[in-house]
Amino acid sequence: MTKPRILTIMGSGETAPTMVSTHRNLVARLTKPVTATVIDTPYGFQANADELAERAVAYFDKSVTIDIQVAGLLRLKGDSVDQVAVERGLRRVADADYVFAGPGSPTYALRQWKDTPLHDVLAAKIREGGLVTFASAAALTLGAFTVPVYEIYKVGEEPRWEEGLDLLGEIGIHAAVIPHYDNAEGGNHDTRFCYLGQGRLEYLESLLPHDHFVLGIDEHTALVIDIDNATASVTGKGGVTVRLRGSERVFRSGEEFPVSVLQDPAATMQSGPAPAAMAGVEATSPQQRTPATSELSPLERELTTHREVFRAALDSRDAEGAVRAALALELSIVDDGDDNDRDAVTRARAELRSMISSLGDAAVGGVQDPREVVGPFVEAMLAVRKTVRAEKRYDLSDIIRDSFEALGVEVRDTPDGVEWDLRA
């Protein structure tokens, strides 16, 4: 089933009660079971990074009622980085229906993500299907330009922009995202606009290209961009501000407007009502998302084919078929890699690395379904258990039950009979 394409930007409160309903409403758009991943890079430099990841997992488990995996991407670069773990983390992001990232340092995250496949993995979700929710520090990275908050506010460096991920550019929005837009922690000094204050915001705004604007997200507030329906809506406590060269328009919680407002903010400033849908991101059907085959290069066409064959082989536990697909992709890179299309070659190499990583995991965990391996033994012991229970030998029944528990076999007695499964 085709997944919806939704990009959500949260100003803060991403793991607070105020954003629970937003997360739940987003997850409700997905087919169950939902696969979810938290990208832990933004706080990867912090000593308590593991604790922050655990908090996120607990929040989604308790408040959103979904299991969320930690990507394990604290660092993606450096001599001591485990490249196997990095590839596994990138696959977790690629395979997830719901991708979340939150607090930390935007500049640290961007340094780690630069020249890695992560941008393309996230951009593919925006193009092809998936939910991406970035909050706080991660939200700062979404635009073409990023505020180096720590460096300016804590260290005292001169205000400047850093290059962002520009995922918003994928949908025709040319903006710099400013979360914590209405921050008031400063008390007697101005900490609005993500601790920049009025003066530094105006200075940074003057450095933006003429066609770029500031997209401000208040604290405990979210902007939900529904790419398929070309609409944007505001949830939470505050508002979303579209600021272009000093002029502002604020959308309050509960308001919905066309994405074209964000694609052409100048038209919004000139006229009161939101402009009608414009060229760029328009409502699309699932069939319209994938480029026509004729629009793809030979390598891109083969990449798509080999990826589908590889995934189908793994799903059907066909190890030989998966290896054959990986080798075919490597041959395509050699034969059809075009120096004039380095982006396609880069994507193909990233996919090949992902395939190798998947095969490595399969080698460790086994391609065959573990239920098929242990099933005959479990069924035999369940038959013994049924016999001793019929004879009221509950002492023996308890021994069998405890043995199952120790081996990770979960047994359930139901009105329809005995069911069993292996604990993850």
Residue 366 pLDDT greater than 70, yes or no: no
Least confident of 273-287, 325-339, 368-382: 273-287
Least confident of 1-15, 155-169, 408-422: 408-422
pLDDT at site 65? 96
Query: pLDDT by residue (tens digit) across 147-189?
Result: 999 999 999 999 999 999 999 999 999 999 999 999 999 888 9
Break the chain into its structural domains and give their ranges: 5-270, 291-365, 370-422
Q: CA-CA distance, 164 to 388, in Å (whole number)?
A: 66
Helix ranges (H only) for 226-297 are: 260-263, 265-270
pLDDT at site 54? 97
Mean pLDDT for the stretch of residues 35-47: 98
> With bands split at pLDDT 50, 70 and 90, how would you rate the model's confidence at 362?
confident
Residue 293 pLDDT greater than 60, yes or no: no
Residue 303, both tokens: 């990449």
Least confident of 160-174, 207-221, 399-413: 399-413
Burial of 51 (0-12, 13-18, 19+ CB in 10 A): exposed
> With bands split at pLDDT 50, 70 and 90, how would you rate the model's confidence at 146?
very high
pLDDT at site 380? 87
pLDDT at site 138? 99
What percentage of the chain has pLDDT greater than the value 90? 62
pLDDT at site 412? 84
Mean pLDDT for the stretch of residues 120-132: 96
Per-residue CA distances from 334 to 87, 120, 192, 296, 407 (Å): 22, 21, 53, 18, 47
Q: CA-CA distance, 142 to 214, in Å (whole number)?
A: 12
Mean pLDDT for the stretch of residues 368-374: 70
Residue 396 pLDDT greater than 70, yes or no: yes
Residue 40 pLDDT greater than 70, yes or no: yes
- How is 294-335 classified by DSSP, letter by letter? GGS-HHHHHHHHHHHHHHHHHHTT-HHHHHHHHHHHHHHHHH
DSSP-derived letter for residue 11 is: S
Burial of 418 (0-12, 13-18, 19+ CB in 10 A): middle
Q: CA-CA distance, 146 to 162, in Å (whole number)?
A: 5
Q: Among residues 334, 365, 339, which one has the least CA distance to residue 352?
A: 334
Query: pLDDT by residue (tens digit) across 69-93?
Result: 999 999 999 888 999 999 999 999 9
pLDDT at site 278? 43
The class level of CATH for 5-270 reads: alpha beta
Residue 291 pLDDT greater than 80, yes or no: no
pLDDT at site 277? 45
Residue 34 pLDDT greater than 60, yes or no: yes
Q: Do residues 15 and 56 make contact, with C-beta atoms less than 8 angstroms apart? A: yes
Mean pLDDT of the chain: 90
H/E stretch holding 216 reads strand 213-217
- The alpha carbon torsion through 287, 293, 294, 300 (nearest 10 deg) reads 130
Burial of 371 (0-12, 13-18, 19+ CB in 10 A): exposed
pLDDT at site 378? 86
